[in-house]
Structures are given as C-alpha cells and as structure tokens.
Amino acid sequence: MLVEGEADVSVLDSCVLDNQVFKTETSQPPKQPVKQEQPLSCPQCGCNRLYRAGLRYYYDGSQTQRWLCRECNYRFSIRPVGTVTLRDLEKRLKTTLKGSVNCQGRDESKDGGARNLLTEGYYLVNSTTRQENAQREGTTQEQAPSDNAGKIVSFLWEMKQNGAKDITLKTWSFQLQKLAKHTDLTPESVKEYLAKTTDWSDATKKSVVTIYGCFLKYCGITWEPPKYKAPDKLHFIPTEAEIDSLIAGSGKVLSAFLQFLKETGARGGEAANTKWKDVDFERKIVHITPEKGSKARILPISNTLIDMLNRLPKNHDEKIFATFSSLRSNFHDIRKGVIFKLQNPRLKDIHLHTFRHWKATMEYHKTKDILHVQQILGHRNIECTMIYITLEKALFQNTSEDYTSRIARTDEELCELVNAGFEYVTDTMGGAKLFRKRK
C-alpha cells in the first residue's frame, strides 16, 4: 500500500510533443473500488479523526477510498499496488522522450532541461493529436502548427534559465496552453480569440497579451497588441468577525496560518516560507522573508498566535507550515463548509490575500499613518500603499472622528492612559496632561 496526498489530476488521453505521441489505455472497463478498512491515523499529523472524502480514480480505471483528516484537513488515499498514477505516466513519458527534442537545434543539455520542465508540470501538452486538431479546425495536417509545443517548452526553459519563479512558469504555461488549444498561436488568430472569448475578463486578457507578447518576442515575431484595460476595483474588506469565523472553522495548522496572515499582513507565500528560527517567542516577533521585491521586516505577534504555533509539531530546521499550494487548497475546502454552516455568501470573496488587505486597512484606520502601513506591508513604492487610504475612507465614511479625552495629573494616571492607547495632546492650564483616544 502506498499513501499519496490529495492532488487534482486531469486524464491525459494522449501526450504530444513534436512528432512523438504517448497514449494511455482508456478503453479498459472501470474497475470496482477496493474495499479497505479505515486507516489508523493521518500520515501527516497522526490524528485518528478521519472521514470519508469520496473516491479517487486512477488511469487504469481502478478506484480507491479517499480520507480527510478533521484535524489538519489533509486529504490522502491508500492506493493498491499496481494502479497507474500521474507520476507513473510521467515516468513513461520521460522514457518516450529519451531521444533529442527538436526545439530549434538546441544542444542536448537544454533539451534535457526542457524535458524536465515538461515532466515537472510547467507545460501541459494537448490531449488530442495534431491531426485531430487539424480535422476539428477544418485545416490540413500541413497547415496545423507542428512546432508550437516545442516552441513553448523552449520558451519556458529560457525563462527558467533567466531566473523566472516556478509559480510564474506555471501561470504562463497555463495561459499559453489555452491559447494553443483554441488558436494556431499566430497574432491574427490570438487577436480573434481574445475578441470573441468570454472566459477571460479584461484584466486577464491584459495579462495574456503581455505573456503572448513575450512569447512572440522570443520567436522573433512582431505584432500590434490589442489594448485591454482592467476595471478599477477596490479590494473587498471583510469584517473581523468574518475573518475570525474562518479561523475558528479550520484545523490547528490552517488556523495558525490564517492567524499569522491576520496579524502580520504577510503574503501567503511569505507566511508559508517562514521557518521556526524566524520566530522569536521571547520577544514575540517574527522575521518576514520578502517576496516580489518587497522589503524584509520584523513584525510583532500576539500571545494568541504564539500559543497556536506552540501546538504545532516543531522542527527547528524546517518551515512551520506546509506548502502554500496545499494550504490554499485546504482553505478553499474549509471556506465552503463555513459558508454553508453560517449561510454567509460574503465569505466566498475572502481569499488568502484578503487578509493582507484587511490588515493594511485596519492599521491605517487605527494610526492614520500611511508610512507605518508601508513598513508593515514591505512596499518599496508608497504608491502601492496609497490604495488603503481610499479603502479606509470608503469603509469608515460614516464613522465620526469623535475622541475620548482624559486628563492625567499623577504619574500613575499618566501610565494608565498610555497603556490604554491614549495619545498625548497638550498641557492644561493647571499643568496636567491632556490625552485623547478615538472612539
């Protein structure tokens, strides 16, 4: 028996690269699910609170039971020996691609990198052959683009050599694959498809035009790109109660991750990459390693988050949380359950990055200091932070600027007011200190 983590995979009826075709056996009749007893515990956290989570289907037609851990939300299945998984297909595909890949006469080392890029999942090949594509589009086999797959793989490999991040490669690969599925990747066909399709918003089309423009530049082709303008929208800012409901409805790992996002305003990738050595439990601070060119920062954390982190299994040499993709997948599953339980459709608009927007908006409302918000978020350009001034005004436009005033005449009263969050205003006529605090 082999234990596998949950992953959504698509059936590849055939995998095409240039003139090589690798087909899977899909004509076999479906096999019955294997009856198996419930596992003793979760392979990730060791909890024995397991629930059935549907069936998992393999490429050979067999099925097996999936399980969900109610403690850490980890999905897994115990597959019988002999079933065919995506990893098995990738190994067979790699064996099929042992020869050199004809990608514009590149050397063998680059071909090997391109094949690795393919098998790692950055480029998903079409599920039909070029002949089938040509017949569907009403063209001949000679008219069908026979080198688009090789060009895309070569382009992605060139990007990886130039330092492109893995998440960027996956996103660009998905967009180029969809264009290749509906067009022949010529500028005229791409323009026509973007003008007719309703699957993409104007914001997505603007991004696709940029990606396709880089691909054409790599191929040495010039074009006049269409102009799409993304609508100007303000970020959705939930209430603190809505955020806390998602945290309370999650397991101990995901709830600690969400609480981390709420208190620090870090990006999801920054929080997922945080290691145990980055947390100072004595001084109650955390070191944030930045992403996307932001600044590194040190932020305070509460006793609540410290207690939640202390309940997690600790390995000082490793990261605190799981991979960002698994955390995001678990968050989407938990969010569906909380929405159904509370009957609050607003929760559907809360994403992991929404926690960052909420933190920035609340910090500006509390301090009215945009430079303070910029330091928390790690922005290098203040223009990126100015959006939260507009958000704060829109959300709290009906909130009065009334203050509660207090006077301190003794040192004890002075300390109490400062600890309560009052700010000093001026001295009174009698020599006392005047403090105020927004209601």
The size of the chain, in residues, is 439
Predicted pLDDT of residue 122: 43
CA 356 to chain centre: 13
Task: For 107-147, write each residue's pLDDT tens digit.
Answer: 444 444 444 554 444 444 333 344 444 444 444 433 334 47
Show the domains of the chain with their CATH numbers: 1-86 (no CATH), 99-233 (no CATH), 240-395 (1.10.443.10), 403-438 (no CATH)
Residue 2: its H or E element: strand 2-5
Cα 393 from Cα 62, distance rounded (Å): 57
Amino acid, res. 289: T
Cα 338 from Cα 65, distance rounded (Å): 24
Classify strands 75-79 and 63-69 as parallel, antiparallel or unpaired.
Answer: antiparallel
Is 149:173 a contact under the CB 8 Å cutoff?
no
Classify strands 50-57 and 423-427 as parallel, antiparallel or unpaired.
Answer: unpaired
pTM of the model as a whole? 0.62
Predicted pLDDT of residue 401: 60
Task: For 259-314, write each residue's pLDDT tens digit.
Answer: 999 999 999 999 999 999 999 999 999 999 998 889 999 999 999 999 999 999 88
Cα 279 from Cα 270, distance rounded (Å): 13
Residue reference for tokens 């079409």: 126
Residue 119: which region, alpha, beta or left (left: phi > 0; alpha: psi -120 to 50)? alpha
Stretches in the chain below the pLDDT threshold 70: 1-37, 59-61, 79-146, 316-317, 398-402, 439
Task: For 79-116, write each residue's pLDDT tens digit.
Answer: 666 666 656 655 665 565 444 344 433 444 444 444 45
Cα 193 from Cα 208, distance rounded (Å): 12
Closest-CA residue to 260 (of 328, 202, 308, 227): 308
Cα 175 from Cα 314, distance rounded (Å): 39
Token pair, residue 338, equals: 């909380």
Cα 73 from Cα 50, distance rounded (Å): 9
Is 382:395 a contact under the CB 8 Å cutoff?
no
- Collapsing DSSP to helix, strand or coil, 52 comes out as strand
Cα 185 from Cα 182, distance rounded (Å): 9
Predicted pLDDT of residue 148: 81
What Å distances lie between residue 391 and 235, 262, 364, 387, CA to CA? 8, 17, 10, 6
